Every structure is written in C-alpha cells, then in structure tokens.
Chains A and B, each alone.
Chain A
C-alpha cells in the first residue's frame, strides 16, 4: 500500500533467469557455466553501496530480534516512566527533559520522552521490532497471494486468468489508504483486542499490495510456460502442480527477491504512516507513533522528532539501497 505515495510500484524489472549468458563478467580462464545466483552474487559483492545497505539491514534485524536482551542489558524498558524523584531526567516545571539534546545522559543515551520520561533509545529499539515484524509479515502475505495467483493466472490462462487479472485491476484502482482507515476503524470498533490490530495492519498492507507482484509473476509465467523445459517435464508425465511449483516457480526467484526487498521498506513506511495517524499497533512502541507524539513538542524539544525520523529513514534507505543493488545484480541486461 502506498501512504500518500505514488501508485505504481517502482518497476521491479523482471530478471528472467533463463538463457543468461555468463560471459558478461571478466572471462574465466577455463570456461565453466555459472548459475544466475553466482553471477548475481559476484556483481553484488562489488556494489559497496548495496552491501552497506545489507549490513544496516542485518543490524536492524538483530536489534529487533534481541530487543528484550538489549533492554535487560541497558536496564530500561519502553514503558518505564522516569518522571518522578530527585534524579528524574524530566524538569518538574516544564515537563521537558533536563539538559541538552532531549536529556542525553549515561542512563539515557538518546534522551527521554517529554512528560513521561520514558527512555527514547529503548523505545526506538522496540519500534524496530514493530516495524520489521509488520513489514515482513505483510510482505509475506502479498508474496503468498501474488505468487500463487500470478502462477495460476499465467499458467492456466483462460477464465482463471480473466478472473484473477480483473480482480487485480480493480484492487489497483482502490482508494487503498482511505479504505484501510475505514477497515481499521470498523474492526477496532468491533474488537478492541490490541492483538487484532497486528492482523488488520498486516492485512491492509499485504493484501492491497499483492497485485503488484501478481502481475509480475503472471507476465513471467506466460513466457516461461512456453519454454522447452516445461514441455520436457510434461512429456515425462509431470502434472500441473509439479510443473508450476517445481519447474516454473524456481525461475521466478530473481523478481520475487527484488520485490521482497523493495516491498519491505514500502510496508515499513505504511506501518509508520498508519501509526502516525493513530491506527497502528496498540501497546507497543512504534516509530510512527513516536513521530506523531514528537509533533506536539516540535518547538520545545525538536530532538525528539529527529531520532524516530532518522530511524525510519536509515532503515528504509538501507532496504532501498540493497534492493536496488539486487535488481541491478540480477538483471541479465546489466553489464556491471
């Protein structure tokens, strides 16, 4: 889903795995066939910017996974309020953090949240967990739907293709953001369980995005199904399911991988945007929620705004850089 953003998913160019001539790189001494994956890896290894993105992604994932451990070592948790007592980092009169840069101190390495005095660093750490878990699950949902429906549409053609393609067309011309807002409003009205928010967020982000990958997969399958290896498999007696998942699907690895790395940052922005509007998860810190809170202290504590903003920016940029590099590396036309 795009949050006030452009409708078209950026053209995830189809990196067709077939018939790739491995001679684009520096020619090896003895001629040997190289798989697409190894060529792509060689190219990616030379792309320092993409690799830097990859390293940052790994760091964010580690932070998200070990959030509890970090909290235990650091000695703070996202909910703990530090606004009482003589050693409180919060000014009793103004409610603002004492000291420069939002109250940075050895106990609170990135300062504290105004009024409540909650530690900002540990809120950002748990925000990473929220952001990544929603984004990855939503991407997984759109992948499962998009790949399987795209496979069916492209492989069987005929009425199945008509139904699936039309459905995808309609979904692409849906006012997604408003619809999500309405859906979240109704669902949280019916069921106020905080856990339900996770599923509904994943649904609105993942479901409305599946036509993007669905269209790519369908297009690829339409050409792949005519290839000789499919005919060979069929002549050996392979059934439709086997041909679809064992013969055709592995060739879709490239475009799916590129879509995945570019869809995760999109969903991170989507989650943050909905959280910013107050429609995100309940009871867990999220970057969008922190930004929306920071807006109230814009003039008195601007530092509070910059930290969650930077967290989103760095995480999303890392995924975008890595995804871009991956796309170039997997593109058979690329000569890099």
Chain B
C-alpha cells in the first residue's frame, strides 16, 4: 500500500511538472514565433524603445536561456524579491507567482482572494448535485421503464444539453429580476455576512448542480441497474431481508463506489474551471480572475491560476486513487 501511495505521489508530481513546463513554454515559445519580446506579456502592449525593451528583458531575466528561466520561475514560487509596478523591490513570499502590473498586486494575493469564492460555489453545488443526482438515478433504477424512470432520464438528458450560460441568466431573470426573491448578486464572505453569502451563491449552486446532477443521475441509474441484477442481491432478498435494506445496504453501496471516484475528480477539476459560472453570476473567483487576465493580457495571473488549478486537479486525483485503494485493496496490487 505504501508503495502504491508513493507511486501515485510521484505521478502527481510528474503531472504538475509537465503542466508547469507546458504552460510556461507557451508564454516563452509563443513570442519567438511573433518576433516579439515576452516582456510585452507581462507589462502589456506598451510602445517602448528597443533600449527600454532590452533593459526590461534584462530586469525580468528574459535574456537568459529558457531552461534557466523556467527554474527561476519554479524556484521563485518558494519566495523571492521582485520589482513591483513602481520599481520598488517587494518581498514575494510562498506561493509567489510574480506581480500583476495591471492590477498592481502580487498574483498570490489576487489568487488568495479568489479561492474562497470558487470554493464556496463548488462545495455547495457538489453537495446538491451528489444528493440530487443519486436520488433521481436510484429512483429511476428501481422502477426501470416506468413513468418515473422515463421522466427522470429524459429530464437528465435535457439538463446535460443545457449550457450553464443559458440556465444561469434564466435563473437570474426569474429569481432576481422577476420574482425579486434575491438581491442582485454581491458576494460577501461567509464569515462577514452569512446571509449575503448564501444569497450570492445559491443560484450558482443550482445552475452548476443542475448540470452535474443530470450526469450523476444517468450514471447512478446504469450502475444501480447492473448491481441490482447481481446474484448476491437476489441472495440477500432470498435470505428474507427487506427490500429497503437490500437496496440501501447492498445495492446502493456497491453502485456508489465508482460514482464517488468520479465525484472526487469532478470537484478537483472544478477548481479554476467554474469560469463560465463565475462570469455569468459576476462572482470574482479563480475563473473570473483568469478570464479578466486574458482580456487585459495579464499573463502572470493566467500562469498562476493555471498552476493552482492543476494542483487542485492532481490532488483530487491522488486522494481519489488512495481512497479507492483503501476501499478496494485489489487496486493497489
């Protein structure tokens, strides 16, 4: 087991390494094709004399070989002093992703501010979609072919076909502008103002959960149907156990194991990829930060957010793999 965990850990580090190399590479190799200086990606498309460009390249280390630049960047994550927007030297502690000259702030500070917003959205939505999806899927699987099953599965197929940038505005239209049950979305921290926090995240939860619940319902249904057809289920019924016990203790338990795996990975993937949800509901999470950085061509932020998102993803993968190995020890052999 220890060997398995170490192996997976090494895999996780490898993926992180590759993601960082590729992301860094885009920004370093891209300019070569355009005969432009990478400096522009950091300071924006400002008109500058060749001398100034050269001086800036030297200051930010772009005149060094690319591998050296990469290791400087990675080493820099653990803390270094950098030059800020007004040429002051500031200390950039771990995790340091450089300085955003557009927003005049350390990238790590910006990311640190955005993470609670994204996490608030994801955690609430995840609980909703897991409960909702499994409930609908189980209900469908227990009465295959009936009206409940058909309604559930048709609804689920319709829901996967609805993009969040359509359901989101429709929800806003109904609950904020139409019925007026909710105020216009203004994010507040859970600790500062719990009511406003809930008011700002409830619609994103519903919109996200709607999409994911549909997939989980379909998955639960097919897993459940397969499990309920197994011999041991029949044996349990034959022993005289009541239907409810068999469904919950024997059926659902086995059917849910693969779903929990996917659930872990989905939650990990969502860190940083709730871009559209955040932009529909105007919430300043990680996704919003990165899309704003794209429009402002503020590349240190994009680089930082991408690496943080990759970290979320590989950690989720790692945790799921290890948990799975504990649930089903055959995996680790």
Interface residues of A (CB under 8 A from B): 2-8, 10-11, 169-170, 173-179, 181-187, 189-191, 265, 269, 272-273, 276-279, 288, 291-292, 294-295, 298-299, 302, 305, 308-309, 312-313, 316-317, 320-321, 324
Partner of A6, one of B11, B162, B262, B305: B262
Known interface pairs A178-B305, A272-B163; A190-B262 also in contact (CB < 8 Å): no
Q: Which residues of B contact A294 (CB under 8 A)?
A: 169
Subset of 11 A-B contacts with CB under 8 Å: A170-B18, A173-B313, A177-B272, A178-B302, A178-B306, A179-B22, A182-B294, A186-B30, A190-B30, A269-B163, A294-B169
A interface: dominant SS: helix
Surface stretch bound by A, among B69-77, B194-202, B211-219, B232-240: B211-219
- Chain A neighbourhood of B83, CB < 8 A: none
For the complex of A and B, 9 pairs with smallest distance between CB atoms: A309-B166, A175-B309, A190-B34, A317-B161, A316-B161, A186-B30, A185-B294, A177-B273, A276-B165
Contact with A along B8-23 (1 / 0, CB 8 A): 0001001100110011
Give the residues in chain A near B37, CB-CB below 8 Å. Answer: none
Q: Report whether A174 and B310 are in contact in the complex, using a CB–CB cutoff of 8 Å.
A: yes
Give A298 to B23 CA distance when docked, in angstroms: 36
Judge whether A174 and B218 touch: CB under 8 Å: no
In whole angstroms, what is the CA distance A279 to B158 when docked? Answer: 26
How many angstroms from the CA of A185 to the CA of B31 in the assembled complex?
Answer: 12
Measured in the bound complex, the distance between the Cα atoms of B157 and A3 in whole Å is: 17
> Interface residues, chain B, CB within 8 Å of chain A?
11, 14-15, 18-19, 22-23, 26-27, 30-31, 33-34, 36, 40-41, 157-158, 160-166, 169-170, 172-173, 177, 208, 211-212, 215, 218-219, 222, 262, 265-266, 269-270, 272-277, 279-280, 287, 290-291, 294-295, 297, 299, 302-303, 305-306, 309-310, 312-314, 317
- A2 to B309 alpha-carbon distance, docked (Å): 15
On chain A, the residues within 8 Å of B157 by CB distance are 317, 320-321, 324
Q: Which residue of B lies closest to A167 (CB)?
A: B18
Is A8 in contact with B265, judged by CB distance below 8 angstroms?
A: yes
The answer to whether B26 and A4 touch across the interface, beta carbons within 8 angstroms, is no
Chain A residues lying within 8 Å of B23, measured Cβ to Cβ, are 179, 182
A190-B26 contact in complex given A4-B277, A7-B266, A178-B309, C-beta closer than 8 Å: no
**Distance (Å) between the CB of A213 and the closest chain B CB?**
18
In the bound complex, how far is the Cα of B266 from the Cα of A269, in angstroms? Answer: 18
- Of A278, A295, A308, most B-chain CB atoms within 10 Å: A295
> A174-B19, A272-B163 are known contacts. Are A182 and B306 too (CB-CB below 8 A)?
yes
Chain B nearest CB: distance from A118 CB in Å? 20
Q: How far is the CB of A332 from chain B (nearest CB, A)?
A: 16
**Chain B nearest Cβ from A195, distance in angstroms:** 16
Q: Tell me if A182 and B302 are in contact (CB < 8 A).
A: yes
CB of A10 within 8 A of CB of B273, answer no
Dominant SS among interface residues on chain B: helix
Contact yes or no, B297 A181, CB < 8 A: no
Residues from chain A with Cβ under 8 Å of B317 in the complex: 173
CB distance from A189 to the nearest CB of B (A): 6
Q: Tell me whether B162 and A313 are in contact (CB under 8 A).
A: yes
Q: Beyond the given A182-B23, A320-B160, could you list 5 further A-B residue pairs with CB under 8 A, ordered by the A residue number?
A: A7-B266, A177-B273, A181-B291, A299-B173, A316-B161
- Across the interface, which residues of A come within 8 angstroms of B158, CB to CB? 313, 317
Q: Given the complex, which residues of A lie within 8 Å of B163, measured CB to CB?
A: 3, 269, 272-273, 276, 291, 309, 312-313, 316
**Are A276 and B291 in touch, CB under 8 angstroms?**
no
A292 lies within 8 A of B165 (CB): yes
Bound Cα distance A291, B317 (Å):
34
Q: Taking the nearest CB of chain A, how far is it from the CB of B152, in angstroms?
A: 14
Q: A7-B265, A298-B172 are in contact. Are A175 and B273 (CB under 8 A)?
A: yes
- Give the most central of A6, A169, A178: most B CB within 10 Å: A178
Query: Which residues of the partner chain A approach B266 to less than 8 Å between Cβ atoms?
Result: 6-8
Evaluate whether A187 and B165 lie within 8 angstroms (CB atoms) in the complex, with A4-B270, A173-B15 already known: no
Closest residue on chain A to residue B309 by CB atoms: A175
State in angstroms the CA–CA spacing of A256 and B318 once bound together. 30
Provide the bound-state CA to CA distance between A178 and B310, in Å: 9
> Contacts A6-B266, A181-B294 hold; do A190 and B165 have CB atoms under 8 A apart?
no
- Determine if B36 and A190 form an interchain contact, defined as CB atoms under 8 angstroms apart: yes
Nearest-neighbour CB distance to chain A for B125, whole angstroms, equals: 10
Say whether B215 contacts A10, CB under 8 Å.
yes
> A267 → chain B, closest Cβ, in Å?
12
Q: Specify which chain B residues have a CB less than 8 angstroms from the CB of A4 in the assembled complex.
A: 164, 208, 211, 270, 273-277, 287
